[in-house]
A and B are shown apart, each in its own frame.
Chain A
């Protein structure tokens, strides 16, 4: 059982470039989330989706966009990356209060 799969595992990206972080789940959960984690700041919610076809903004949505065309996939796009978006990004899904997280994508914007 794969659970949540994120890709890539890590990436170095030039500032100004566009980047899509991929997230796929095989648990058929309705809710999915994207978080970023920076040292000393815990996890902060970027965007979420309660069900396929709907998305919502979290605590730190600026500079990011998401889509939810189907139940399984929830990609996160950085339209024009900036160095402050250097972080570890976690995707999660949940059915109820128990969320399942991916292994994360470590993104460095230079």
Chain B
């Protein structure tokens, strides 16, 4: 399983764009990059997934360079409700057909008024 490295914490003011970068130097060819969000006292929630280039949904964008050794989660115009821990996961289908979901320690994002 590819190991991921991301900042332990980040602060941002409301209304700003936040970019959280994750390093995954030994990502495998069949690995996808997935980001989850976790609020206090809740289970993690899927945000976005990508394989290469750029993926965008209603919540965030995910930028993946050509070498795929890193990825950046971009949250546009954050609000106080975006204060949470964000996890970067890298993995692919196991031989038995399930994804390997290995969480690191995540990045604690604090949005300041």
Of the candidates A48, A51, A92, the one having the most CB atoms from chain B within 10 angstroms of its own CB is: A48
Bound complex: CA A12 to CA B44 (Å): 24
A66 within 8 A of B: no
B77 within 8 A of A: no
For B103, what are the chain A residues with a Cβ–Cβ distance below 8 Å?
35, 42-45
- Minimum C-beta distance from B74 to chain A (A): 19
Contact B43 A54 (CB under 8 A): no
- Minimum C-beta distance from B50 to chain A (A): 10
Instruction: Select which of A33, A54, A97 is within 8 A of B34 by beta carbon.
Output: A97
Bound complex: CA A42 to CA B101 (Å): 12
For B106, what are the chain A residues with a Cβ–Cβ distance below 8 Å?
42
B113 within 8 A of A: no
Instruction: Select which of B99, B102, B105 is within 8 A of A96 by beta carbon.
Output: B99
Instruction: Select which of B32, B36, B49, B98 is within 8 A of A50 by beta carbon.
Output: B98
Contact A101 B101 (CB under 8 A): no
For B42, what are the chain A residues with a Cβ–Cβ distance below 8 Å?
101, 103-104
Q: Other than A90-B44, A99-B46, A99-B101, give 14 A-B pairs with Cβ distance below 8 A.
A: A42-B103, A42-B106, A45-B101, A50-B98, A51-B96, A90-B43, A92-B101, A94-B101, A97-B32, A97-B91, A97-B101, A100-B46, A101-B44, A104-B42
**Could you write out 23 A-B pairs with CB less than 8 Å apart?**
A30-B97, A31-B98, A31-B99, A33-B101, A40-B105, A42-B104, A43-B44, A50-B94, A50-B98, A59-B102, A90-B44, A92-B44, A92-B101, A97-B91, A98-B46, A98-B49, A99-B99, A100-B46, A101-B44, A102-B43, A103-B42, A104-B42, A104-B43
